[in-house]
Amino acid sequence: MKDKVCVLGAGSTKYGKLNDSIIEIALNASKDAIDSAGITPNDIQAGYISNVFGVADKQVHMAPVILSNLGIPHVPGLTIESACGSGSVMFREAYANIAAGFYDCVLGLGVEKITHTGTTQSTTLFSYCSDFFYEGGNGASFPGLFASIARAYMTSYKANEEDLANVAVKNHENGILNPKAHVQRKITVDDVLKSPVVASPLKLYDCCPFSDGASAVILCNEEFAKKVGRPYVEVIGSGRGASPAAVQARKDITTIPSTVDAAKQAYKMANITPKDIDFAEVHDCFTIAEVIDIEDLGFFPKGTAVHAIREGATRRNGEIPINPSGGLKSKGHPIGATGIGQVVEVFEQFIGKAGDREIKNAEYALTHNFGATGASSAVHIFKRVG
């Protein structure tokens, strides 16, 4: 790598049901990130946009529209789609272009607007992210796909529905402290177990909400960051992985190979191990996903995460805090923005803007975000500077 890569600024809209157009949502987050970095749009040399369902709000070819409305129509941009992992996959591309020396400073923006389509249409649109011939085309929804993964996991490792509920309770506990979270509501294990079944064995509170929202970061090289003189965070590890697109093609349904591969690459690049990570933002689209993620990322041996969660190891004051932002479960899941939202959380944690959810004395943080049932995945590792 030629240059060290830094996150110099970050901003998010509130996640939830938003009335603004997808472009306005995108611009609001971009403006917050630009202001937070202490730069002007004139400093941005390229725009990386992640989005999946722009067509649902009548806008594709989004990058030029956003950059034009930021007053920089001459700046090149591109839009990247990788289902629910679009944000982190886009972050990797932006990272790589800074690291390679193509640009000194870029905008990385994730955005989604979906709630206006309603539950049935959203469910249908999401099913297009599956291997449709074998999954969506046979009637599988995304809750259904993860429910089938949950059933396989619960059978293999003798886990139960209460074990999954513990993930939801913990993430809602964190989300209450995040003013931008979609679902700011304390819940109990009993609330989860009594909530309506969405796809057996997953219930409503095992599932993240459909959310609108945008998150943006300013990425730059170290020289640029030092010149601006604002607090920044260093990106020290980046990994990408891939898995068979269809669940049926996975040798073991209880693990996500793309996560394992991406994590190995990121740890190697950062020259640290899972034990060095002080907190992580992981892809908890469903409670079962967080259980599998934290095993695949090397925080807990296979089949043991549910015990660790039950003992509080993943709470904010635990051995390895997971999803202090509230995660997708409570903060929300505007799918094009989610991976960038995780980076926003790391940035806010490291520059002292996370308020009551701050993880004290954290030095290293990890973000993990995947597309669909983990067909595409990216892991990044960050280091506090100063």
Partner 1 sequence: MELLAQAQQFISLKGWDKEGLSETKQQQQKDLSSREKFIKSANAGKILANKCLRCGHIMLETIYYCEKCFGNKFEPVEFEGTGNMVTYTTQDVAPEGFEDTESYAWVVFKVDNAPFRVSGFLPGVKSAKGLSIGTKVKVSSFSPKHGLLLQKI
How many angstroms separate the CA atoms of 299 and 277, rounded?
A: 9
Is the Cβ of residue 160 or residue 248 nearer to partner 1 in the bound state?
Answer: 248
Binding of partner 1 at residue 151 (CB under 8 A)? yes
How many angstroms separate the CA atoms of 321 and 209, rounded?
A: 22
User: Are 344 and 11 spatial neighbours (Cβ–Cβ below 8 Å)?
Assistant: yes
Among 5, 140, 288, 294, binds partner 1 (CB under 8 A): 140
Smallest distance from partner 1 to CB 37, Å: 41
Smallest distance from partner 1 to CB 127, Å: 5
Contact flags string 240-279 toward partner 1, x per CB under 8 A: ------xxxx---x--------------------------
Which residues are catalytically annotated? 84, 333
The one segment of 107-115, 148-156, 274-282, 305-313 that binds partner 1 by CB under 8 A: 148-156
Which residues are 197's β-sheet partners? Answer: 203
Q: Under rule CB under 8 A, which residues in 62-121 are in contact with partner 1?
A: 119-121
Is the Cβ of residue 73 or residue 137 nearer to partner 1 in the bound state?
Answer: 137
Is the Cβ of residue 203 or residue 316 nearer to partner 1 in the bound state?
Answer: 203
Query: Coil, helix or strand for 185?
Result: coil
Establish whether the linkage from the previous residue to 201 is cis, with ω within 30° of 0. Answer: yes
Burial of 193 (0-12, 13-18, 19+ CB in 10 A): middle
Residue written as token pair 């999946």 = 52
Length of the chain: 386
Largest alpha-carbon pair distance within the chain?
57
Task: Count how many Cα atoms sit within 13 Å of the Cα of residue 45 in the half-sphere of its side chain.
Answer: 12
Contact flags string 180-209 toward partner 1, x per CB under 8 A: ----------------xxxxxxx-------
The residue ranges that bind partner 1 (CB under 8 A) are 119-121, 123-124, 127, 133-141, 143-145, 147-149, 151-152, 155, 196-202, 246-249, 253
